Amino acid sequence: MLIVYGKEHDAHHCLELDCGELIRSWDSPERAQNVFNSLTREGHAVVAAQALPHEILLKVHDADYIAFLQDAWKLWVEEGHKASAAFALAWRARSWNRPDRVPTCITGKLGYYSIGVDCSIIEHTWTAAEAAAASAATAASVVAKMKGHGSRSDTHSKLPRAAFAICRPPGHHAMRNAFGGYCYLNNAAVAAQTLLSSAFASRVFVLDVDYHHGNGTQDIFYSRSDVCYASLHADPATEFPYFSGYADEIGEGDGQGYTRNVPLPPGTTFDVWSEHLESCFDWAKEKNCGAMVVSLGLDTYIRDPVSTFKFEKQDYSALGKRLRTVDLPTVFVLEGGYDLPSIGENVVTVIHGFEEDIRCK
Ligand code: SP5
Ligand code: ZN
């Protein structure tokens, strides 16, 4: 499978507040390096990301939010802060009025444009986030231009129409106008929007299999019917992002019925999870999507240090196989997964499950 990778993510490793302790973030550069090493070791071809089209980015994020991300580190330094990571200090609580009042200082803005303190902004955050989103856009463009007629995979060739973007930082928690959950730009949304804007598909299925709910992807497409968003994840009643991902969130306005959430209890195994995955496919089937974007998190793995699901290695092969039978042109984007020894191998296992028929020949 064609891999898209930008190594500019390397310089971004921010601080996070985890259970009251300030630590170097679980989202480390080694995560993406391991995925890159595992995929290239298996002989998958890599292309560099092309420049991120600004018009795509502005369809999924607000312009003032993008300007904030670009300027945040400069403002932090200009205002005399010495700390090596920029964190918010306060957020607008429910009963505060004037939701659109934007503070002028950087500490105020950090609260206005974020959802939590599990990540922060450092000097190279924008560069890394832009490279990750560019990788997602490039992977989607590549899939849109692959040979084959119609929107389905080309039955004359064994090669599935698919590409994999090694995105870091991840993206699915990034909302239209807020960062958090290690995410700044929503890579999956950029991929979906690229497929739509290139007129390759008129509706895209975004399937989110990360351990956490993709509140950002849901937020961006919540009132649109050109993207179907389905997510299986740990119940937000007890897991990040806490305020989004409940089963009664189904979309609104034109988007009503185009969002599906499956919250699952701690310790969920692949057997149980995959039954709910089938229900997501049944749900999506009648919506006539022309392409699929998979938000691929590997933090469902049994040894993941931040999660509780109990996926085993072979489960990733079953997942890959099942994704292939959806028979849609597919863009994979990397989301979470924090067990460094397994993340690369588990990505490879998904991809090889997906490509099984060509790999067994
Ligand atoms: C993309 C993605 O997977 N983002 C996840 C963001 C979750 N951040 C909060 C994690 C808190 C982990 N606490 C683990 C304690 C282990 N001792
Ligand atoms: Zn996650």
pLDDT digits (tens, 9 = 90+) for 42-84: 999 999 999 999 999 999 999 999 999 999 999 999 999 999 9
Separation between Cα atoms, residue 6 and residue 39, nearest integer Å: 14
Residues 6+ apart with CB under 8 A from 81: 106
The pLDDT value given to residue 139: 98
Ligand 1 center to 235 CA (angstroms): 14
Catalytic residue among 173, 212, 213, 233: 173
Query: Residue 263: which of 239, 287, 283, 227 has the closest Cα?
Result: 239
- Average pLDDT of the residues in 308-320: 98
Q: What residue ranges line ligand 1, CB within 6 angstroms?
A: 18-19, 118, 170, 173, 181-183, 210, 212, 240, 297, 299, 305-306, 335-336
Q: Which residue(s) pair with 230 in the sheet?
A: 207, 260
Whether the predicted model's global pTM rises above the 0.75 cut: yes
The pLDDT value given to residue 152: 46
Ligand 1 center to 211 CA (angstroms): 10
pLDDT digits (tens, 9 = 90+) for 277-297: 999 999 999 999 999 999 999
Residues 6+ apart with CB under 8 A from 334: 32, 35, 164, 165, 166, 167, 168, 170, 296, 297, 347
Give the E-state strand segments of 142-273 in sequence order.
162-166, 204-208, 227-234, 259-264
CA atoms within 13 Å, Cβ hemisphere of 142: 25
What is the bridge-based pairing of β-strands 259-264 and 227-234?
parallel
Separation between Cα atoms, residue 130 and residue 59, nearest integer Å: 15
Confidence of residue 129 (pLDDT cuts 50, 70, 90): very high
Going across the sheet that includes 2-5, the strands are: 46-48, 2-5, 162-166, 330-334, 291-296, 204-208, 227-234, 259-264
Question: Do you know the residue count of the chain?
Answer: 361
Neighbours of ion ligand 2 (CB under 5 A): 210-212, 297, 299, 336
* Both tokens assigned to 15: 């601080």
Residue whose CA lies nearest to ligand 1 atom number 17: 306
- Average pLDDT of the residues in 92-97: 93
Q: Which residue(s) pair with 3 in the sheet?
A: 46, 164
pLDDT digits (tens, 9 = 90+) for 159-199: 789 999 999 999 999 999 999 999 999 999 999 999 999 99
In b/e form, how buried is each residue of 192-225, taking b as 16+ CB within 10 angstroms?
Answer: bbbbbbbebbebbbbbbbbbbbbbbbbbbbbebe
Atom of ligand 1 nearest to the CA of 211: 3
Q: Is the per-residue pLDDT at 149 higher than 50? A: no
Our answer to whether residue 81 is catalytic in this structure is no
pLDDT above 70 coverage of the chain, percent: 96
Atom of ligand 1 nearest to the CA of 210: 3
Atom of ligand 1 nearest to the CA of 212: 3
Q: Is the per-residue pLDDT at 304 higher than 60? A: yes
Residue whose CA lies nearest to ligand 1 atom number 7: 181
Separation between Cα atoms, residue 47 and residue 259, nearest integer Å: 32
Residue 169 in contact with residue 129, Cβ under 8 Å?
yes
Separation between Cα atoms, residue 335 and residue 24, nearest integer Å: 18
* Both tokens assigned to 212: 């956490």
